[in-house]
Structure 1
């Protein structure tokens, strides 16, 4: 299946640290630019054929819920820890909604969990 493509949408236009973690784990990251980028997450995932989407906003939900409703991606949102994200991937979620958590560890561990679940090394 090749490299995991992860789209990152952050309400404040951030996400660069998570992207660095994605790439450290061998994935490819697309950071959606600009304010309210979380609301474009599903659109960019669909356009790019992404494997995984990560949304960040205060509540940890808006972008993930929008991607789920518009495109049917299985989503989990309102998360506040890396471990919750790993569990969501293991449950088959492809869109993950977090409160603001632009940390390299998050991107790296999510890609590692995705690769482990879907058999990519």
Structure 2
């Protein structure tokens, strides 16, 4: 089984804690550097042939909506909890938009949910 690749784009240039969670679950995390990184999420997902993308901004939607509109990735956005993200992955969403939540548990649980869903 190939490694799950997760791209993380945070409006404020964060995402390092989520990346630790992705890696703890056995995935490969790619954190987009710089302010406004969420708006480049779809571009980097396409370049890296990523399995999942996680976007963070105040509304929890801008980067996810952009990735969905530009590349057609199934997205769910406006999320405020890890459980919402896990459910979205189980429903086949590939781009997840959250309010600011740079926590390791999010990356770990989302990656694990994706690995279970694709088996």
User: Fold match, TM over 0.5?
Assistant: yes
TM-score by length of 1: 0.98
CA distance in structure 1 between the aligned counterparts of 2:61 and 2:43, rounded to whole angstroms? 16
TM-score by length of 2: 0.99
Does residue 1:36 correspond to 2:36, yes or no? yes
CA distance in structure 2 between the aligned counterparts of 1:2 and 1:86, rounded to whole angstroms? 20
Aligned-residue Cα RMSD (Å) equals: 0.4
**Unpaired stretches in structure 2, ≥5 consecutive residues:** none
Superposed counterparts of 1:12-23, under 5 Å: 12-23=12-23
* 1:39 to partner: Cα distance: 0.0
> In structure 2, what is the equivalent of residue 97 of structure 1?
97
Superposed counterparts of 1:9-88, under 5 Å: 9-88=9-88
* 1:42 to partner: Cα distance: 0.1
| 3-state DSSP of counterpart to 2:46 | helix
CA distance in structure 2 between the aligned counterparts of 1:60 and 1:112, rounded to whole angstroms? 21
